Amino acid sequence: MIEAVDRYTEMVRAKSATGALAPGSAEVYVRDVHTFAELAGAGRVLDDLTGEDVDEVLLKFAHKPDGRRSPDASGVPGAAGSVGSDGARLQSASSQARFRRSVSAFFRHAAVAGWVQLNPMSVATLKPKQRGGLRAERRALTTEQAEGLLGAARELVVAPVEVGKRADQRTELRDGLIVLLLAAVGPRVSELTRANGEDFFVNAGMRYWRIFGKGGRTRDVPLPRPVVEVLDAYLAEGRPLLDRGREPKALLLSWRGRRLARGDVQGVIDRVLARVEPERRRSVTPHGLRHTTATHLLAAATDMDAVRRVLGHSDLSTLGRYRDELPGELEAAMRVHPLLGSVRGAEIVEGGVAEAGPVEVE
């Protein structure tokens, strides 16, 4: 099995090098297939694995502690992933589904390459629901929850520096910028951590972020004024405190001066969430903030193609996966119906319609 995993790893990395596969996706595939080999047993023969063997590995992964987050990493009830009997946070349902997709891709390649006679995934019976429970119905934050998170991020950047805090530990501007970029622009976490300072430019008085996305595609996204203000403050004051000259181009740096890793972003979100009032606080992942961006832009009747371009999708149909229903959005849409603007605020009286003053809606 080890030989097959190594050859598959070489193939995936070759695709990444040629631009046929995004580096972040390649990293996930490689990590998951090595985890699969470890859980299945390195000495096993790949072609001997049955559907029952795959089911066993999927269950093992489901109960494998998620090393990226400690049980109390967020301090927020309902954080992604369940907790095991020893208190360790287990894999979330979405992580389990992703792992299953990675394993399926591995065995599809193995079948085409002739490494296995029968693809065991075709007879594996364990599905994501059985392994991790139902995924939460909502990924996107409600308006109130999103405003609470964004408010905490903006308050963080103007908060006075703690007395005695070392300069290289002052990450408030960086943390606030991360949350604002994730919630306002909705980038993939890999796009955020790969960002360089030179990717932000001004055109006709508007600040843009040139995002390098999947498959080598780029998109230029204009930034809202509140985000630009925090970005400018971070570049002028926050980033120089973290700069050690090791990553001269990277936008986001750790306190050691290294480019911020993807796994660090969740910790940043959790720290900002801890500053939100409990009644407006709900745990969210970087991908959940991407859903939040899509949901609220579409709910505000933003052109669907514009939202597609902001998120970096090649197909409009993909937006359906990133949009959650918001409470009261149908009622809000009908209150501002575009075809009834000429009669909005009118009052029905005996014998016809009389103009009334502006109608205040609760």
Catalytic annotation, residues = 188, 214, 287, 290, 313, 322
What whole-number distance in Å separates Cα of residue 168 and Cα of residue 161?
12
Distance CA 78, CA 96 (A): 17
Q: Is 160 helix (H, G, I), strand (E, B) or coil?
A: coil
Say which DSSP state 90 is in: B
Among the residues of 114-233, which ranges form H helices?
Answer: 128-132, 143-158, 172-185, 189-193, 225-233
Helices 262-273, 172-185: inter-axial angle, 10-degree rounding: 100
CA dist., res. 327 & res. 137, Å (int): 13
Residue pair 177/234 in contact by the 8 Å Cβ criterion: yes
CB-based contact 260:250 (threshold 8 Å)? yes
Find all residues with CB under 8 Å of 223, minimum gap 6, and list them.
184, 185, 200, 206, 207, 208, 209, 231
Look at residues 34, 89, 97 and name the one whose alpha carbon lies nearest to residue 67.
89
Burial class (CB in 10 A: 0-12, 13-18, 19+), 69: buried
The CA distance from 229 to 134, in Å, is: 40
Q: How far is Cα 251 from Cα 308, in angstroms, rounded to an integer?
A: 25
By CB atoms closer than 10 A (0-12, 13-18, 19+), residue 115 is middle
Give 3-state DSSP helix, strand, coil % of the chain, rounded to 5: 55, 10, 35
